[in-house]
Amino acid sequence: CDLLASDAPAPGGGSVAGVVGALGVALGEMSLAFTRGKKKYAEHEAFYAHLAGRLERARAMFQDLVADDMSAYRLYQESSRLPDGPQKAEAVQLATAAAIDVPRQAMKLALAVLEDLRELAGKCNPWLITDLMAAAVLVQAVVRLSDYNVRVNLPSLADKDQAEEVRSASAADVRRADAAQQAIEAAGGRILG
């Protein structure tokens, strides 16, 4: 947090998205941990075992994306310092692609986690539903933060058709994340009354 608050160029918003994603997944894992092994939910044990592995891997992947985001930013900084010419233009395009790819990966991972959390919502200990709802809000935030990072980098992409395709896909992912989070919220609302 201290480094983020400083004038250091990285970590930044993309790294925060990775941390927020890891925290959201950890809340989902906590909800699962307090549900697993209870007689009342015994019929779902196979699902819980499968989901536990998926969530653990997702948390690690979000943590890896923090470093990937910082590396992509460093690559962009280095490319922008090159002397003008074809080599710089090529390096900037490569760095831009990396700066777009990392948040797109975070979005895809977040969408997968949201689907897992949505499935868990119907099989979760009701005392943990608010934690699961909070997990969904955090993971949904990853999609929004990543969309911001995608969009800010699109103007630097030389291929404008590709940029529009990425913009459209990113917007669709935001809508999917919103719908998944709202479904989890609705499941929680049924339990909370």
pLDDT (tens digit per residue) in 144-156: 999 999 999 999 9
Residues across the chain: 193
Which pLDDT does position 8 carry in this prediction? 76
Which pLDDT does position 93 carry in this prediction? 93
* Cβ(119)–Cβ(50) below 8 Å: no
Provide the mean pLDDT of the chain. 93
Within 8 A by CB and 6+ apart from 70, the residues are 10, 11, 14, 15
Cα–Cα distance for residue pair 80/89, rounded to 1 Å: 9
- For residue 46, count CB atoms less than 10 angstroms from its CB and return exposed for 0-12, middle for 13-18, buried for 19 or more: exposed
pLDDT digit string, tens, across residues 82-139:
999 999 999 999 999 999 999 999 999 999 999 999 999 989 998 999 999 999 999 9
What is this structure's pTM?
A: 0.93
Which pLDDT does position 9 carry in this prediction? 73
